[in-house]
Amino acid sequence: MISKNLIKLIKSLEQKKYRKREKLFVAEGPKVVGDLMALMAPQRVIATSEWYKGKQVSEDVVVTEDEIRKVSFLQHPQDVLALFELPEIEELPAEQLCDHLTLALDDVQDPGNLGTIIRLADWFGIEHILCNLGTADAYSPKVVQATMGSIARVKLHYTNLAEYLEQLQDAVPVYGTFLDGNNLYAEKLSPSGIIIMGNEGNGISEQVERYVTKRLLIPSYPAERPTAESLNVAIATAITCAEFRRKN
């Protein structure tokens, strides 16, 4: 049976200030919880007896399906919910960027978009994402769920992105997507560098744009036909990362 205090704790973790205070975040579902448990020990596990069957883990709180609904953040609750310790991730040293492809997010605010981008980074072998301070919190329940477990393998670094890029002093190429950029498919793309993706409504901010050394455009087809005004930022990230990996 799940206690009232534990219910209160779990529900509080929907808000960033309580995640920060308790140094915990919530993960739900066998896939997400399983991927996280492969890398870190959960602080608490709340699950049905069905989930525990055949697993070599110490039972924590065994609940019924009705009980798990009381604490779940999902529309359709699953058999397991777990609390994990928030990771302490240090600032990413500039020298680590020289040999790797890194994503940077300039205030991407939609939790679904952020979670999908983390999942994309995992798929394309991108281990680090730089996040401007206005970017959604990666450890909110909605973002964690949208990553489908990739949050366990991708490190997110929250920083003042413009100040961080200024410190690089042209050490690596910095790419950004713009409506007046050069055709992504015609450009030579380096195997390492930073790919900046902008805010859903405003794109890349002026403060960050000044550090972009290579402007890219994802062209529509055919060029002369009226088309959608823009692409969703997660879709644009997928297209851009795929082209970088295809060419390198």
The pLDDT confidence band at residue 224, using thresholds 50, 70 and 90, is confident
pLDDT tens per residue, range 93-145 = 877 788 899 999 999 999 999 999 999 999 999 999 999 999 999 999 999 99
Tell me which residue of 152, 109, 114 sits closest to 133, measured CA to CA. 109
pLDDT tens per residue, range 154-184 = 999 999 999 999 988 778 999 999 989 999 9
Residue pair 165/211 in contact (Cβ under 8 Å)? The answer is: yes
pLDDT tens per residue, range 23-49 = 999 999 999 999 999 988 999 999 998
Residue pair 101/192 in contact (Cβ under 8 Å)? The answer is: yes
Q: What's the mean pLDDT when you consider all of the chain?
A: 93
- Is the pLDDT assigned to residue 58 strictly greater than 80? no
Instruction: Please give the model's pTM, rounded to 2 decimal places.
Output: 0.93
- Is the pLDDT assigned to residue 195 strictly greater than 70? yes
Helices (H), 72-179: 111-123, 141-147, 161-168
